[in-house]
Amino acid sequence: MIDKEYYAKLSQNAQENYTFYKEEAEASIHRREYTTSKRYDISPYWFARQGEIPGDISDKETDTYYGFDKHENIRISACDDLIDGYTYTAYEENKKTTRTYVNGILDSIKEYLLQDGLIDQSVEYFPRFDKLEVEDYIYEGTILVQIYQPQYENNAYFDHLLRTHFEYDEQGDLLRVLDGTKGVIYVRMPYEQVLVLREKVKEELIQALIEIISDLCENQSGKEYCFMSIYLHDEVHTVYSPIFHPGLQEVREEQIEEKDNDEEEYYYTIWNSGDHPMNDQQELTDQHLIQKLRTLIMYWRSNGDWWEEGKNLWKEVAYTLNEKTNWSDYSILTENFVVFVEWEAMDVMNGDLQESIPPAKLEDLQSGGLAPFI
């Protein structure tokens, strides 16, 4: 059992002696390194676990920097996690302690307890919330294989956070990181393998959307649909498991009848899935497909712009569906039915809609007054 009172007292000491810990760290600095963003963390595989890319060393002074002592230990971490946040790190034989302050006010204190030179446990205390976060590090020999966070025990909602699993290649280099439900949160792959996986996932997503639309049409609800929106939020899980939101023709007809002289507002309105009932929303159900798509998204998250890469993949899926699928086989789909990718900042007037729709179908929509001429 972790003694919260002990850490509360450490916290009080850290606040009362802020100047001492700050000056002690500053006096030890041998060199300073400026970076474009966060570059270091004591926690093993922090960047892989968070899906972040380490910042680059900068030739110019930046707000983010690290101060190293003569033994190359980081003693000061400036603004790497928090705006105006400074972390001062102290080293003892079997312990590392970080004290993080924002504008001189203690934000957290964290102890890394060592055994045989390896981190055995970390305990972080947040005085604002009187909250402890604990991580236990589990090894096979000297290889980290799992991190356990006991504060999430017996709460199914946090199963994905309870344990983190690490897998390695034959050379001992990190290959994958999995969450508590064995979902991928980091993966290392050759780029050629990424391209192959992307094409396979794209083909399977196209087939999955065809099946989803077919199932929707077989419900015999008497409704007529004018579009299927692939709605993406700018959060990772909504890109590998988005909402498919059908648009009702009767809603669109009402919107057309209410059209005013504001052309821009009109087009935004008739392509806004949020104006349509949610009860027909669909999701991917093939867990194997979801995991393959998640692997791609997590690869992009650790190597580039996962949001743009994910959107582009879904746009290609929509484009191919609109290009190669004969929707006339489905009687409850309108003549101008299309699938398109939608997100909060989508700009209908500047070509975002057109990236999901091939020219022939786009021309039909434009001639019917349903899409703007760009």
Do 202 and 345 lie in a common domain?
yes
Position 340 in a domain: yes
Do 158 and 304 lie in a common domain?
no
Do 9 and 150 lie in a common domain?
yes
Give the pTM: 0.87
For tokens 């344990």, name the residue.
Answer: 163
Position 271 in a domain: yes
pLDDT of residue 359: 94
pLDDT of residue 370: 92
Q: Count Cβ atoms within 10 A of the Cβ of residue 258 and give its class: 0-12 exposed, 13-18 middle, 19 or more buried.
A: exposed
Residues 86 and 101 sit within 8 Å (Cβ to Cβ):
yes
Position 235 in a domain: yes
pLDDT of residue 105: 97
Report mean pLDDT in 10-residue bins for the chain, 374 residues: 91 98 98 97 95 94 97 97 96 96 98 96 97 97 97 94 97 96 95 97 97 86 90 91 95 90 89 92 94 96 92 97 89 93 93 94 93 86
Do 305 and 265 lie in a common domain?
yes
Q: Count Cβ atoms within 10 A of the Cβ of residue 5 and give its class: 0-12 exposed, 13-18 middle, 19 or more buried.
A: exposed
Position 82 in a domain: yes
Do 322 and 175 lie in a common domain?
no
| d(C-alpha 374, C-alpha 366), whole Å | 10
pLDDT of residue 220: 63
**Nearest 10 degrees: CA dihedral of 40, 44, 45, 46?**
-60
Do 74 and 148 lie in a common domain?
yes
Residues 91 and 74 sit within 8 Å (Cβ to Cβ):
no
Of 153, 187, 221, the one marking the end of a domain is 187
- Please report the DSSP string for 142-158 in residue order: TEEEEEE-GGGTT-GGG
Tell me the two tokens of residue 103.
Answer: 């504008």
Do 229 and 334 lie in a common domain?
yes
Do 94 and 175 lie in a common domain?
yes
Do 43 and 70 lie in a common domain?
yes
Do 275 and 356 lie in a common domain?
yes
Of 187, 211, 244, the one marking the end of a domain is 187
Do 151 and 238 lie in a common domain?
no
Position 372 in a domain: no
Dihedrals phi, psi of 312, to nearest 5 degrees: -65, -40
Residues 357 and 339 sit within 8 Å (Cβ to Cβ):
no
**Residue-range definition of the domain harbouring residue 216:** 191-367
Position 286 in a domain: yes
Position 281 in a domain: yes
Distance of CA 297 to the CA centre of its chain: 8
Number of domains comprising the chain: 2
pLDDT of residue 165: 98
Do 181 and 155 lie in a common domain?
yes
Position 373 in a domain: no
pLDDT of residue 218: 84
Helix (H, G, I), strand (E, B) or coil at 172: coil
Of 187, 222, 247, the one marking the end of a domain is 187
